[in-house]
Amino acid sequence: MSESATFAIGLAYAMASPVSSLRECLKQLAVLTGDLCLSTERLRCSLAVGDALLTHMPSLSWSRTADQCSWPAIGTERYQTSGGDASYTIPFIKMSSEGTYICSVLVNPLFASLDINLRIEEPPRVSVNIGSALSLQEGGEQKIVCEAENYYPLDVEIVWYEQDPAVSGQRVGAPLPKVLQNILLSSHKHNQDKTYSLSAFFYLRASLRDSGRQFTCSVSHQSLRVPIKKSFILTVEEPSSWLFNLTVGVIVITLLVILYVMLQFLHSARQKSVQKKPY
C-alpha cells in the first residue's frame, strides 16, 4: 500500500491589541511543514519556533475530514519542545483511513493549520486463465480472461494486444502491437476490503495465420509506475494432421478385419475339403 500527501498552509491571527512582543513572536513562527512517513505510517507535522514563542506554550490538535464530513479531533496535546515534532501516527492504514488530516497549532492569538491529504493506493494483482503457451486446432475456440484484482482506487485500464514475439523486444523499427477490439469487460466487483476487481475477456478462434503470435494483457493503474503485463504464445495445428492420422488408423483397422475374415473363410473351406475326402 502506498500513500502520498499534498499540503496547503494557512496562517490566520487576530490581536485584541497590538502587542510588540507578540509581533516579534510572529516573526519567529516558521512555515509549518508536513509529509507522509511511509515506513512508520506517520503524518509528520513539525513547527520551528524561537525562544520568545515558547513562553506562550503552543497547543496542537489533529482533526480529520473524509467524504465531505468532519470527524472529531483525533488528538490534542501541548506542544513538546523536543525537536518540534507534532506528528500523528495512524494505528493501521486501511481504505477507510483516506481523507484530509488537519494539523492545527494555536499560539494565542496566532493560529496555523496544515492540511495533509492522505490518498490510499493499492496495486492490482493480474492473472490470465491460461499459461504462457496455448495450443489449438485450426478453427478451435478458447475463452481468454485477464483479471485485475484487489486494486484501489477504482479507475483501471485493461488492454489486450497481439504482436510477433520476435520483434517484441526491439526498440527501433519494430511494428506497433495490434490492439484487439473484440474485448468484453465485466462489471466492477466491489470487494469486502473496499478494493475493486475487473476482468477483460475475449473468444480466440484459432487460425493458422495467428500461429506463433504473442497475445498480451496490459493493466494500467495509478498505483503502478509501469503497466503489469501477462503474455502467452499461440500455436495453431492444422486439422489435416489429426484427420490424416484418423483416416490411416481406420484403413489399417479395416484391412486387419478383412484379413481376419479371409483367414477364417480359408480355414473353414480347408476343413470342409478335408472332410469330403474318402478314407
User: Average per-residue pLDDT in the chain?
Assistant: 75
pLDDT at 207 over 70: yes
pLDDT in tens, 38-93: 334 677 777 665 555 555 666 777 777 765 555 555 555 444 434 567 777 777 77
pLDDT of residue 116: 81
pLDDT at 252 over 70: yes
Query: Which of 19-33, 76-90, 177-191: highest mean pLDDT?
Result: 177-191
Q: Do domains 2-120 and 125-239 have the same CATH topology?
A: yes
Q: Where are the domains of the chain?
A: 2-120, 125-239
pLDDT in tens, 218-243: 999 999 999 999 999 999 988 766 66
DSSP string, the chain: -EEE--EEEEEEE--SS--HHHHHHHHH-PPPEEEEETTTTEEEEE----HHHHTT--EEEEEEEETTEEEEEEEEEEPP-STTB--EE-SS--GGG-EEEEEEEEETTEEEEEEEEEEEEBPPEEEESS-SEEEEETT-EEEEEEEEEEEBSS--EEEEEEE-TTTTT-SSSPPPPEEPS--EEPPPEE-TTS-EEEEEEEEEEP-GGGTT-EEEEEEE-TT-SS-EEEEEEEEEE-HHHHHHHHHHHHHHHHHHHHHHHHHHHHHHHHHHHHHHS--
Task: Give CATH for domain 2-120.
Answer: 2.60.40
Task: Name the fold adopted by 125-239.
Answer: Immunoglobulin-like (2.60.40)
Percent pLDDT > 90 in the chain is 35
pLDDT of residue 165: 84
pLDDT at 266 over 90: no
pLDDT of residue 111: 77
pLDDT band at 21 (very low <50, low <70, confident <90, very high): very low
Q: Which of 31-35, 145-149, 205-209 has the lowest mean pLDDT?
A: 31-35
pLDDT of residue 47: 66
Mean pLDDT of all residues in 141-170: 90
pLDDT of residue 75: 55
